[in-house]
Amino acid sequence: MIDVLNSPVTILRGIGQKRAELLNKLNIFTCGDLIRYFPRGYLNMSEVNPIDQLKNGETVTVIGKISSDVSKRVGKRVTRFLFSVSDPKGNTIFVTLYNQKYTADRLHPGMTVLLYGPVEVVGCVRRMDAPKIRINAIPEIEAIYPLTEGVTHGSLSRNIATALQACEAQLKEMLLPEIREECDLPEIKEAFRAIHFPKTMAEADRAKNRFIFEELFLFTVGVRILKLRVKKLTAPKLQPTDLMPFLNRLPYALTDAQKRVIRECFDGLRRSHPMSRLVQGDVGSGKTVIAAAVAYLTAKNGMQTALMVPTEILAMQHYESLHQLLSPCGIKVELLIGSMRAAEKRDIMLRLEAGETDLVIGTHTLIQKNVKFRNLAVAIADEQHRFGVQQRAAIQEKGNNPHMLFLSATPIPRSLGLVLYGDLDISVLDELPPGRIPVATRRVGSDAEARMYNYLREKALSGEQAYIVCPSVEGSDEMKSAVDFCEKLRETYLWDIPIAHLHGRMKNEEKERILTDFVNNRISVLVSTTVIEVGVNVPNATTMIIENAERFGLSQLHQLRGRVGRGKKASYCFLVSDDRSEDATARMDAFCATNDGFEISRKDLELRGPGDFLGNRQHGLPPFRIADLTRDMSVLERVSTVANHLFEDPSWFILPENRALFIAASEMLRSAMLQ
């Protein structure tokens, strides 16, 4: 039997090669793609309104007969076609079409038409301008799809109807009857019909809910499958060691949260299957010392650790701090980054392969093919969301199923973490070391510019440093450009202050050079886009100014604010915004009220949904067709509960009734891994 769902659309009647090429532009290649090309909305033309009861401004459906000739009015740019439509009671509505000659030529007195659009009522006269018009059509709900040139709603609907008929026999139900009943979801064949050709809006909504639930359920089941697969692998089993020589080197006492997370990591490292753990903690919560403790334990077991970070400047900073901390304990720490000389890199790689290096710190250089380890037992990724699934897999391949530790300074609510990191165990650093001075945060308007920048100038002249963040690279009337704004400051308030700009479009070498100069205090003020959100540790930076602050989400603002307040001096963050809307005011007030990243993340989720946490599309998330994580969090929570019940039976995946679910979840997982 032909696998219709995975066959090209050209097997369908009415779709030749040219038509297929148009559909390809919509990412429709197979019959399965076609039936899963879901509507973005609907025109509800199913409820017919009497003409004499129409109200001004309403969007309605009217059915009647054309009661006049179609007259033509030709203008310089617009040709208007005017006619009237009357119902059996003699009530009349006047209609105007614009530049629709093909449609107008088909219209004749006495013809029954359906009109859909907004109504204008002036006195007793009713009008419709540019309504949708259907000849001899029955009242119905019409699906609206994203289109491309050459593809109309009518032609796409016909293609989908053909595909549904061809695929119907091969549609496999993957949701058990008890799940569908509990969550009020239609069965698969009915859901496909109802989402494309609904009889009522309630039917369309129910079908849409089915597919949203299904996508989130498949992904949740997929990451649980991945977690089970990891547990079947064999990893290096590390033995406990005396941690006191390491702890005695620390210039401070560990917090209770750090002690707890270190225990959780060590418990994972002592198991025979690979640990996959995310440590998330607020800025300054001490994630680096967790990595250091893990590297210490690994080295004392005679094995190697790799720490991968997103930027060379962060790699160098980590190297300096970890070398100072671990070298006195007899642990060999090395740095491997792309800007090193070839001979220097070659020597380091030889020592790595020979097992002479215990801990190597680097960027993407660590996953190059010519970098080999003798016995890599632990791979750590700092700011893990900056690395894609394939990059993380590449570092894992350097060892024999090494343990994986991911570090993130972006606190996220647990419900969202179930989606983003469902295959990981999560440890939380929810306590800051004592003595850390909170960053004072103030919201100011642009009218305070002179006072604010004169204050910054005084701080710079006294030896302190500052960041200024702009939301765009190229200037506009609404947003300040990092490049243009830097020049403005150089010509006005900061004429005698070393200042530079930084943005993501610069070459990596230029960005690294500027960041290095800033770290070494050769630059006092850095005007930047959000490229400095992570990866810079400058204890001497005490002032953060964020221009057009209303354009950032709370969690992103928190990451930016975390660049200051890392030393012993009082630090300040200024949010510059003239937006006095209710939404902007609520977000700015919430941000100024606390330095707690977890509290901010909860508020951000409440005010804006999870979009700000996701930022640009996260690596490792599947290409959802209909589910929207900024909207469907309540569905996700229900999905998680259902998945928990499913996995209570360890043999669920071998049951015949779950076969379709297992295959579909595995396929979605595979597509996510390829992103």
DSSP of 508-541: HHHHHHHHHHHHTTS-SEEEE-GGGSSS---TTE
> Which residue from 238, 535, 597 is spatially nearest to 411, judged by alpha carbons?
597
Q: Examine residue 161 and state whether it is found in any structural domain, yes or no.
A: no
The DSSP bridge pattern shows strands 333-336 and 359-362 to be parallel
pLDDT score at 297? 97
> Which residue from 592, 566, 555, 382 is spatially nearest to 467, judged by alpha carbons?
566
Are 397 and 450 in a shared domain? no
**Distance between CA 413 and CA 599 in Å, rounded?**
9
Are 454 and 576 in a shared domain? yes
Long-range contacts of 179-182 (CB under 8 A, 24+ apart): 179/642, 180/210, 182/642
CA angle at residue 540 from 525 to 462, to 5 degrees? 70
At residue 480 the predicted structure's pLDDT band, cuts being 50, 70 and 90, is low
The DSSP bridge pattern shows strands 304-308 and 376-382 to be parallel
List all residues 6 or more positions away from 618 whose beta carbon is below 8 Å from its beta carbon: 385, 420
Q: Examine residue 17 and state whether it is found in any structural domain, yes or no.
A: no
Query: Which domain does 287 fall in, by range?
Result: 244-429
Domain end: 117, 139, 161, which one?
139
Q: Examine residue 650 and state whether it is found in any structural domain, yes or no.
A: no
134-172 pLDDT, tens digit per residue, is 998 889 999 999 999 999 988 999 999 999 999 999 999
List all residues 6 or more positions away from 440 whose beta carbon is below 8 Å from its beta carbon: 570, 571, 572, 573
Q: What is the mean pLDDT of residues 491-506?
A: 88
pLDDT score at 552? 85
Helices marked H in 304-409 — which ranges?
A: 312-326, 342-354, 389-396
Q: Examine residue 547 and state whether it is found in any structural domain, yes or no.
A: yes
Global pTM reads 0.71
**Distance between CA 69 and CA 385 in Å, rounded?**
64
How many structural domains does the chain have? 3
DSSP 3-state of 563 = coil
Domain end: 577, 609, 641, which one?
609
**Distance between CA 171 and CA 169 in Å, rounded?**
6
CB burial of 100-134 (b: ≥16 within 10 Å; e: otherwise) equals eeeebeebeeeeebbbbbebeeeeeebbbeebebb
Q: At what angle do helices 188-196 and 153-167 cross, to 10 degrees?
A: 170
Are 479 and 531 in a shared domain? yes
Q: What is the mean pLDDT of residues 273-280?
A: 89
**Distance between CA 226 and CA 618 in Å, rounded?**
18
Structure token pair of residue 48? 């017919």
Higher pLDDT, 546 or 529: 546
> Which residue from 379, 360, 287, 315 is spatially nearest to 535, judged by alpha carbons?
315
Beta-sheet strands, E only, within 87-174:
92-98, 112-118, 120-122, 125-129, 132-135, 141-144
441-471 pLDDT, tens digit per residue, is 999 998 999 999 999 999 999 999 999 998 7
* Contact status, residue 403 vs residue 269, Cβ threshold 8 Å: yes
Amino acid at 610: P
71-89 pLDDT, tens digit per residue, is 999 988 899 999 999 999 9
Domain end: 567, 583, 609, which one?
609
Q: Examine residue 172 and state whether it is found in any structural domain, yes or no.
A: no
CB burial of 183-192 (b: ≥16 within 10 Å; e: otherwise) equals bebbebeebb
346-388 pLDDT, tens digit per residue, is 999 999 999 999 999 998 888 888 999 999 999 998 875 545 5
> Which residue from 387, 425, 411 is spatially nearest to 613, judged by alpha carbons?
411
Are 419 and 489 in a shared domain? no
**Is the pLDDT reported for residue 66 higher than 90?**
yes
Q: Examine residue 330 and state whether it is found in any structural domain, yes or no.
A: yes
Are 451 and 348 in a shared domain? no
Are 406 and 257 in a shared domain? yes
- Distance linking the first and last C-alpha atoms of the chain: 31
CATH number for the domain harbouring residue 315: 3.40.50.300
* Contact status, residue 460 vs residue 525, Cβ threshold 8 Å: yes
List all residues 6 or more positions away from 152 whose beta carbon is below 8 Å from its beta carbon: none
Are 472 and 331 in a shared domain? no
pLDDT score at 535? 58
Sign of CA dihedral 398, 401, 403, 409: positive
Q: What is the largest CA-CA distance in the chain?
A: 98
Are 303 and 348 in a shared domain? yes
**Distance between CA 278 and CA 282 in Å, rounded?**
13
Q: What is the mean pLDDT of residues 292-304?
A: 97
Are 472 and 420 in a shared domain? no
Q: Tell me how far CA of residue 286 lies from CA of 38, 193, 570, in angstroms.
A: 46, 54, 20
Q: Examine residue 315 and state whether it is found in any structural domain, yes or no.
A: yes
Are 589 and 519 in a shared domain? yes
CA 563 to chain centre: 22
180-219 pLDDT, tens digit per residue, is 999 999 999 999 999 999 999 999 999 999 999 999 999 8
CA 127 to chain centre: 45
CATH number for the domain harbouring residue 100: 2.40.50.140
List all residues 6 or more positions away from 305 whose beta carbon is below 8 Å from its beta carbon: 294, 295, 298, 299, 358, 359, 360, 376, 377, 378, 379, 380
Are 491 and 580 in a shared domain? yes
Helices marked H in 177-301 — which ranges?
A: 177-183, 188-196, 201-232, 244-247, 256-269, 287-300
Phi, psi of 424 (to 5 degrees): -115, 150
Q: Specify the DSSP element, H or E, that contains 542.
A: strand 541-546
* Contact status, residue 469 vs residue 501, Cβ threshold 8 Å: no
Four-CA torsion 326, 361, 280, 297, nearest 10 degrees: -40
Q: Examine residue 398 and state whether it is found in any structural domain, yes or no.
A: yes
* Contact status, residue 39 vs residue 144, Cβ threshold 8 Å: yes
Are 339 and 455 in a shared domain? no
Q: What is the mean pLDDT of residues 601-624?
A: 60
